[in-house]
């Protein structure tokens, strides 16, 4: 009985730690990497290669007046702000809905792993206990002979 209880507790704790922490870390690291790529790398590529190389080179060589420079700066800032806001909202909504929509999947996986582990542990413990006591009974019978 001690072996059975110890095995059940050990498997339960191990499964809990593995399932909870691994799922938590995996999900949030993946979302963090996704957020980092979306907000930094994509924005950097967009702003540097598209805006700076094309717009700055093309427009700044032809527009030298204060008004045109002001308009250009306003448009440039507006576009940059729009892109930042759009990417931020997209990332926030993606993260929010991704977590909410996958709650069922995580709960299902979580419950399934525990049920599977419990049944697996129960069967193995019963088999080992049965074999152990059957072996002890056999030894006792051999001693009597």
- Domain locations in the chain as residue ranges: 1-105
Mind listing the pLDDT tens digit for each residue in 106-136? 566 666 666 666 676 677 777 777 776 676 6
Record the pTM.
0.27
Contact criterion met (CB below 8 Å) for 2 and 10: no
Mind listing the pLDDT tens digit for each residue in 6-17? 666 666 666 666
Residue 129 confidence (pLDDT):
72
Q: How far is residue 5's CA from residue 45's CA, in Å, rounded to a whole number?
A: 58
C-alpha distance from residue 23 to each of 11, 35, 50, 110 (Å):
17, 18, 38, 9
């Amino acid at each position: 009985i001690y072996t059975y209880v110890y095995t059940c507790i050990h498997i339960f704790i191990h499964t809990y730690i593995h399932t909870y922490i691994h799922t938590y870390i995996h999900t949030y690291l993946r979302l963090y990497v996704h957020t980092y790529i979306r907000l930094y790398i994509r924005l950097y590529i967009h702003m540097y290669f598209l805006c700076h190389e094309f717009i700055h080179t093309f427009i700044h060589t032809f527009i030298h007046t204060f008004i045109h420079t002001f308009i250009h700066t306003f448009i440039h800032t507006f576009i940059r702000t729009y892109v930042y806001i759009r990417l931020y909202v997209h990332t926030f909504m993606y993260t929010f809905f991704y977590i909410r929509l996958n709650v069922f999947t995580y709960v299902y996986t979580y419950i399934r792993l525990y049920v599977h582990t419990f049944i697996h542990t129960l069967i193995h413990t019963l088999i080992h206990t049965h074999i152990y006591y059957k072996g002890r009974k056999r030894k006792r019978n051999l001693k009597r002979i």
